[in-house]
Amino acid sequence: MEIALEKTNSSQIARALVKARSAAGSPAMDMVLTLLVVTDDENVAEALKTATTLSREHPSRVIGVILGDGRGSAQLNAKVRVGESSSGESILLRISGELTKHAESVVLPLLLPDSPVVVWWPGKPPADPSQDAIGQLARRRLTDAEATTSPIRSLKAVATSYSPGDTDLSWTRLTPWRALLAAALDQSPGKVTGGTVTAGVANPAAALLVSWLESRLNVSISAERSETEQIASVVLNTSVGDVVIQRIDAVSCHFSVPGSSPREVPLGARTLAELLAEDLRRLDADDIYADTIRHLLARA
């Protein structure tokens, strides 16, 4: 059921939510978190679709916030949707005029009681996510440096303003690579003496990978440029030979460790929904990410 509200306020939205929920047949709530999606008109449809896909694993109240033109008089329009192919509920807020500076006053009354709040900026993040008015409502703050116009600069910016609970999706994108590298060292326990990461220039995930490897292994890792934007290969020099992981195409890579014959293994890119699902599985601070970005900043 969908209810559209114009020139409204938070309590009317909350009432509409209860109405939609009883109309959907189940007034009980078993949602585990509130997901705030702060975005713009252009990206909102895609972002909300992704967020509602998520609600199958993490039943949540998704609140999309579109901050419109800051000029003119304050206005709040909303759309409330419950049921219909998702197990949570979603609210879309269009905020314009003076109210854009006080969006948190709209969101606060709509948060699920007691449950964790996560905010996701699918595009450009605020200068300091944890100090942002909406960011302050949340326990976890997800940014996406790759979706911005200058990814590396964005990554460094969120790294500089890091506070526990922040993570960038480029870190999440890195998990399969990190898993393969960890598996490689499980199999070949030689001491690592150095290594190389080859990737496109403006790849924040590659920057994090270099930094992660350096901080974990205490060796210097060189970053090489590649033609493609993705991470093309990772080589670790160990005392018993080289560990080499080299991307073949979008879904697989060559994997070779000393002591066993090289082979192909799957290494596919994941959808945004899968990335977010991984992030929402843990709502505490990611210490390893913190170590990694600290090293990233120290390195520069």
Partner 1 sequence: MTVAANPLRDPRDRRLPRIAGPCSLVMFGVTGDLAKKKLIPAVYDLANRGLLPPGFALVGFARQDFGTESFAKLIKQAAKDGARTPWSETVWKQLAAGIRFVPGEFDDDDAWERLADTMAELDEQQGTGGNHAFYLSIPPGLFPVVVSQIKKHGLAESAQGWRRVVIEKPFGHDLASAEELNRIVGDVFTSESVFRIDHYLGKETVQNILAFRFANGMFEPIWNNHYVDHVQITMAEDIGIGSRAGYYDGIGAARDVIQNHLLQLMALIAMEEPVSFNASSLRLEKQKILANARPAARMDLHTAQAQYLAGWAGGEKVRGYLEEDGVPDGSRAETYAAIRVDVSTRRWAGVPFYLRTGKRLGRRVTEVAVIFKRAPHQPFSKNDIEELGQNALVMRIQPDEGVTLRFGAKVPGTTMEIRDVNMDFAYGGAFVESSPEAYERLILDVLLGDPPLFPQHEEVELAWKILDPVIQHWRRDKTIDTYPSGTWGPASADKMMARDGRTWRRP
Interface residues with partner 1 (CB under 8 A) are 26, 28, 30, 32, 55-59, 87, 172, 175-176, 178-183, 185-187, 189, 192, 213, 216-218, 249, 251-252, 255, 257, 259-261, 263-268, 274, 277-278, 282, 286-288
Residue 263 CB, nearest approach to partner 1 (Å): 5
8 vs 215, which CB is nearer to partner 1?
Answer: 215
- Residue 110 CB contacts under 8 Å (≥ 6 apart), including other chains: 10, 13, 14, 17, 34, 61, 63, 91
DSSP, collapsed to helix, strand or coil, labels residue 83 as coil
Cβ closest to partner 1, residue 132 vs residue 168: 168
Q: Find the shortest distance in angstroms from Cβ 248 to partner 1.
A: 9
Beta strands in the chain (DSSP E): 2-5, 33-39, 60-67, 75-82, 89-96, 117-120, 140-143, 166-168, 192-199, 221-225, 231-238, 241-249, 252-256, 263-266
CB of 10 to partner 1, least distance (A): 26
- Please tell me the distance from the alpha carbon of residue 173 to that of residue 207, in angstroms, as a whole number: 12
Is the separation of the CB atoms in 197 and 209 below 8 Å? yes
**Residue 237 to residue 244: CA distance in whole angstroms:** 9
Q: How far is the CB of 101 from partner 1 (least distance, A)?
A: 35
Q: How far is the CB of 121 from partner 1 (least distance, A)?
A: 20
Give the integer Cα–Cα distance in Å for 168 and 27.
35
Report whether 171 contacts 205 (CB < 8 A).
Answer: yes
In this complex, which beta carbon is closest to partner 1, that of residue 32 or of residue 111? Answer: 32
Q: Is the CB of residue 68 less than 8 Å from the CB of residue 95?
A: yes
Decide whether 128 or 278 has the Cβ nearer to partner 1. Answer: 278
Tell whether the torsion through CA atoms of 93, 99, 103 and 108 is positive or negative.
negative
Closest CB to partner 1 among 132 and 286?
A: 286
Helix axes 287-299, 151-160, angle to 10 degrees: 110
Shortest Å distance, C-beta 126 to partner 1: 25
CB nearer partner 1, residue 101 or residue 263: 263
Tell me whether residue 104 or residue 278 sits nearer to partner 1 (CB atom). 278
Q: How far is the CB of 251 from partner 1 (least distance, A)?
A: 5
Please, are residues 96 and 119 in contact by the beta-carbon 8 Å criterion?
no
